[in-house]
Structure 1
């Protein structure tokens, strides 16, 4: 069992009351993997289309490694700082400002994540119901209204799961949620033709999305060998070159946000049975590695199916090609199930932050526990219903809050609270570099968003 030690305080004041964890290693992996994997997986093919396969792979692996390093800093800081609560680490490091920085970042990031999941429910569930009923157009029935449906799903599914006392109990739903996303990935891979666009060295694909493939359809048999070889070279060039477009600058933020799980790391750590820092690090390693593989396969096969015609959300692109397709319908239902079951995982850190800030030191209360969950869900529902598009808000929240949670706060808390190492040690120097990178990354991301707002004031077109 990890011993919690406080620096600069008496043992009675600084040592946090421990409670035994009940979640197994496997359940903890499911919960953390589910916290990592969100709606961002649907946009990775679009990110790959804006960078090329090689640069995307380098960026994806790089961000995964940085995320693992950040979790390592956070776990070491939790041991040295004597707390498994993010806000208390902030308070012990920098006092009230540190506590509020952690609180604000967790609230902003997780409110944004919850809202993005509920936006998917709002826009996708009516389409799934309409497809099941075989309706070409929305008939205006109440059960095809996304605003009503998101409220029903919140009350009927999300709220009951959010009322569970311990996060470890959600391991079963997290496992089912992950299986739904594995099904999504499997269908994306199957939908990609066994002969990729470049394999028209043997057979020209009939539904290739690139201009070169489309032009190929009108050639004569005598022209086929030379045109196929030329198209093959173009395809290789398109797929494996490093592309630079204005949208390429947004790829790193998209990838960084895809690995944000830090608000959930400490709550999952506190629920881990026979917990130790090494055991939780292994949970993190396995979860991030599994998500890295899923992200890479999803992005690759989605991109190789549609190339530069892939949209910001992969499901929308499939829907345009395969209307009323049974398999695609099942995929959309699986994604809806996955994001719905992820919302309670994201809600737990928000409630924990509010409880720590407003009710610190008080005994557990079921009434308070339920009311806070209901209030959080009600606020997110109002946000999703009354705000037509919050893409720019998500961009701002992600560039600031996610960067704070991944880079700045873990490094700053580590430098402040870890007293067992000298400042000039390799570990402290690495954390300092990590902190500087985070600050530069946040300033750069926010600058790009502001410039985009200036040059494209009406650029928000998607609801999710």
Structure 2
């Protein structure tokens, strides 16, 4: 079978381009007289398809621009958004919003680094890029980071779902408010029902593009939460029920420095989605780095808007009473008309958001575990039995973790200061600095940004671990 695919060169990447005129398998394009390599049979197409799943003729699936944006945005916006208003309480409104913007910009740059060098070394997964740059051991470390980070995030999601719906020691659950006492008071039962009825069917999809519709719904639910919080905050500001917010950190507090040490890692890992960048890129219909970079920029802009809005509205609403998980602040009247209905909309809506985010985070967890346990077995989507088995095992382990651990916010902060920062900043910076010598290289500005990213990642990791250790000691003391 003859084709007219010709390899063309670019400053940074190698792409395939179809000639405008297709007359015969051997005819040269008049616009490019220098004939390069042609693909003359299906075996060569098969090799291309193995290298770049979804690109060859054997697969007609693929996501569009907005489907990729929704999937990547859903990877970013999870439970971490609920902690942002509490960071405003520590950082102050002005400093907090500036940091949200700066961290978003740095995260977008690190995503572009990751895509650029993944294409350069023809890698299909996060681990493969790391291995090309830093070796086999580093790949294993990066994949372990993904497993720890994503498993911890999923356990947190289930704990939040259980606490909000069934209640906890400090907060009444939605079911209790609706139905009174009953079997739904038991968090383990509620979580099990959610896992079996809602999460398992979504997690069984073997391609992340299949989740683009649910990802769009999850982003919409997050926007609903932001709108409700903003409307309530605006009404209370007009009625004079909200005090003027603090704009900068309050260093007069005895625990000010310690609070800053704990908050900084939370802010820095808010945009970590890098474990899903490569799977989303692999399933794009237009598999070009430029297209994925556009996906990254649109995602960053959307997330910055949602994060800043949530942080501002949440802090204005509850001030110094803002809790580490602001969702728990909505279990009491808000002081305006229809506040009871609004609290239900916020809590139930965000629980549905987490249910739809869960399978997107689970996708990269399952893929990474498969790479660690079944290296060399071929793509996971080619083995339905392996996909189902891994899904069932991982869901069971995450469920057990959520029922055995009453609250893992402290552990979540530790993973945020270590695995999340490593995945979002440390590894991308090291990849760029190491692989730049093998390709077109980095500009002086890009090299500066890579070193800045690496230094900040190390500082945040050290500061986060030290801060959490001292915080635990203070609470126990």
Q: Which TM-score band (shorter chain)?
A: 0.7 to 0.9
Conserved? CA contact 1:43–1:314, under 8 Å: yes
The reply on whether 1:310 has 2:322 as its aligned counterpart is yes
The reply on whether 1:166 has 2:200 as its aligned counterpart is no
Conserved? CA contact 2:51–2:122, under 8 Å: no
Conserved? CA contact 1:75–1:277, under 8 Å: yes
C-alpha distance in structure 1 between counterparts of 2:475 and 2:154, whole Å: 26
Partner-residue secondary structure (3-state), 1:189: helix
C-alpha distance in structure 2 between counterparts of 1:424 and 1:63, whole Å: 21
**Counterpart among 263, 276, 285 of residue 297 in structure 2:** 285
Cα deviation 1:207-244 (Å, max 9, x = unaligned): x4x5xxxxxxxxxxxxxxxxxxxxxxxx3xx4334434
Describe the shift of the 1:432–1:193 C-alpha distance in structure 2 as closer, same or farther (beyond 3 A): closer
**Counterpart among 368, 371, 380 of residue 389 in structure 2:** 371
C-alpha distance in structure 2 between counterparts of 1:288 and 1:204, whole Å: 34
1:157 aligned residue: 198
2:36 aligned residue: none
C-alpha distance in structure 2 between counterparts of 1:436 and 1:248, whole Å: 18
C-alpha distance in structure 1 between counterparts of 2:292 and 2:250, whole Å: 38
1:227 aligned residue: none
1:45: Cα distance to partner? 1.2
**Counterpart among 23, 27, 52 of residue 18 in structure 1:** 52
**Counterpart among 247, 250, 261 of residue 240 in structure 1:** 247
TM-score w.r.t. structure 1 length?
Answer: 0.84
Partner-residue secondary structure (3-state), 1:275: coil
C-alpha distance in structure 1 between counterparts of 2:421 and 2:327, whole Å: 27
The reply on whether 1:440 has 2:459 as its aligned counterpart is yes
Partner-residue secondary structure (3-state), 1:378: helix
1:215 aligned residue: none
The reply on whether 1:261 has 2:301 as its aligned counterpart is no
Describe the shift of the 1:115–1:68 C-alpha distance in structure 2 as closer, same or farther (beyond 3 A): same
Aligned length: 414
Conserved? CA contact 2:14–2:120, under 8 Å: no
The reply on whether 1:41 has 2:81 as its aligned counterpart is yes
Cα deviation 1:411-442 (Å, max 9, x = unaligned): 11222223124588443343233222212221
Task: Map residues 114-263 of structure 1 onto 2, 5 A cutoff.
Answer: 114-126=154-166, 127-133=173-179, 135=180, 139=181, 141-194=182-235, 196=237, 204-205=240-241, 208=242, 235=244, 238-244=245-251, 245=256, 246-263=258-275
Structure 2 residue ranges without an equivalent (≥5): 1-6, 8-12, 17-43, 55-60, 167-172
1:213 aligned residue: none
Conserved? CA contact 1:28–1:268, under 8 Å: yes
TM-score w.r.t. structure 2 length?
Answer: 0.81
1:322: Cα distance to partner? 4.4
Describe the shift of the 1:326–1:18 C-alpha distance in structure 2 as closer, same or farther (beyond 3 A): same
Task: Map residues 1-80 of structure 1 onto 2, 5 A cutoff.
Answer: 3=14, 17-20=51-54, 22-80=62-120
C-alpha distance in structure 1 between counterparts of 2:198 and 2:85, whole Å: 30
Considering only aligned residues, what root-mean-square deviation do their CA atoms show, in Å? 2.5
1:173: Cα distance to partner? 0.6
The reply on whether 1:334 has 2:332 as its aligned counterpart is no
Cα deviation 1:310-351 (Å, max 9, x = unaligned): 222222222233498122112211111000111100011111
Cα deviation 1:166-195 (Å, max 9, x = unaligned): 100101111111111111111111211435
1:416 aligned residue: 434
Higher relative contact order (CA 8 A, sep 6+): 1
C-alpha distance in structure 1 between counterparts of 2:287 and 2:49, whole Å: 17
C-alpha distance in structure 2 between counterparts of 1:424 and 1:39, whole Å: 36
Cα deviation 1:241-272 (Å, max 9, x = unaligned): 44342323333211222211111111111111
The reply on whether 1:399 has 2:439 as its aligned counterpart is no
1:453 aligned residue: 472
Conserved? CA contact 1:4–1:83, under 8 Å: no
Conserved? CA contact 1:36–1:288, under 8 Å: no
1:216 aligned residue: none
The reply on whether 1:99 has 2:139 as its aligned counterpart is yes
C-alpha distance in structure 2 between counterparts of 1:278 and 1:288, whole Å: 15
